[in-house]
């Protein structure tokens, strides 16, 4: 049985799917994450010009698709291609690949040992399609895997006259995620948006779902990390999703781990803690291997779940360390 069932204390959250093995946020990566035993599967959500909610990490297309080749004249003044400038039908024409960067005109993979660029065939899915995949697999396998959607760049969407949060909640409600008991966590980096969802949108729609406040390492998150800030977060959120470096400082070395009290303080306020991102091919300097990384966070720091690109390795670790 899955690690989650054996150890309800620790959730394996597939970060953009099994993104260590297949291009992030493709249906293939989600199916693989499901098969590898993930407890929850993550969806990053952005909106199209015609108001569809699609699963992509950024509101840009140029680092994970061939949009430059298919629609070369559709970049904005900054040279980027924005999801919101395309209809769903147009996005369906794009091929999705492993994440890449442009060096002059050459593409190079961000993670060079992952799925090769330009191989096979992958596309963009809507949020609804991905939910149907996961719910369909729940039916065919008898498991109960949850979803972990993230509302991306709500302020950007608002400037483009799109209320992404309401659109996301409507999809959740349509597919039966509307109570605290349902297998869903809704996450966002924007504290104002998460508060708005908690205070206004959920009550107006007669819904209640668990909310997770994400934390980056930037200075804008420092006010939220104070005692008072965290108390404010606990008033509207049920959990936090911090960078792993907010739990152990990045300049730590193996012989001298600089742990913080964030997990302890969050737990004291009744918040669950799901740090990101656990990657075998991007280890912090203070560990030798992936298992050691998991050991430190899951056992020593007592987190409640992890976002990982390698769900299988994380499930195996939990099963062998129970």
State the catalytic residues.
Answer: 15, 57
H helices of 80-152, in order, are: 88-91, 127-141
Nearest Cα neighbor of 188 from 24, 22, 13, 43 is: 43
**Coil/strand/helix, residue 301:** coil
Q: Are 127 and 149 in contact (CB under 8 A)?
A: yes
* Count of positions (residues) in the chain: 322
Angstrom distance (rounded) from CA 216 to CA 276: 10
Element (H, E) at 272: strand 272-273
How far apart CA 86 and CA 236 sit, in angstroms, is 34
Instruction: For residue 79, count CB atoms less than 10 angstroms from its CB and return exposed for 0-12, middle for 13-18, buried for 19 or more.
Output: exposed
**Considering just the CA atoms, what is the radius of gyration of the chain in Å?**
19
Whether residue 96 contacts residue 124, with contact meaning beta carbons closer than 8 Å, is answered with yes
N-terminal to C-terminal alpha carbon distance within the chain: 13
């Amino acid at each position: 049985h899955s690690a989650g069932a054996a150890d309800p204390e620790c959730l394996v959250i597939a970060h953009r799917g099994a993104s260590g093995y297949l291009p992030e946020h493709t249906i293939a990566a989600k199916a693989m994450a499901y098969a590898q035993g993930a407890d929850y599967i993550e969806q990053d959500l952005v909106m199209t010009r015609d108001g569809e909610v699609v699963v992509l990490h950024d509101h840009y297309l140029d680092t994970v698709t061939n949009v430059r080749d298919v629609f070369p004249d559709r970049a904005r003044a900054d040279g980027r291609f924005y999801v919101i400038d395309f209809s769903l039908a147009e996005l369906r024409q794009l091929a999705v690949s492993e994440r890449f960067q442009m060096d002059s005109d050459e593409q190079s993979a961000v993670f060079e040992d992952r799925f090769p660029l330009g191989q096979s065939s992958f596309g963009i899915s809507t949020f609804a399609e991905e939910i149907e995949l996961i719910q369909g697999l729940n039916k065919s396998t008898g498991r109960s895997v949850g979803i972990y959607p993230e509302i991306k760049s709500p302020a950007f969407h608002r400037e483009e006259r799109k209320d992404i949060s309401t659109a996301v909640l409507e999809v959740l409600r349509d597919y039966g995620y509307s109570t605290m008991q349902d297998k869903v966590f809704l996450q966002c980096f924007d504290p104002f948006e998460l508060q708005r969802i908690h205070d206004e949108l959920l009550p107006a729609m007669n819904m209640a779902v668990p909310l997770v406040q994400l934390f980056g390492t930037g200075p804008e998150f420092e006010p939220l990390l104070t005692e008072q800030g965290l108390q404010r977060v606990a008033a509207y959120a049920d959990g936090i999703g911090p960078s792993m470096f907010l739990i152990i400082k990045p300049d730590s070395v193996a012989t001298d781990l600089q742990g913080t009290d964030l997990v302890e303080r969050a737990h004291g306020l009744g918040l669950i803690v799901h740090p990101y991102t656990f990657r075998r091919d991007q280890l912090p300097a203070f560990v030798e291997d992936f298992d050691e990384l998991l050991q430190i966070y899951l056992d020593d720091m007592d987190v409640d779940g992890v976002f990982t690109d390698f769900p299988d390795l994380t499930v195996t670790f939990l099963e062998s360390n129970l």
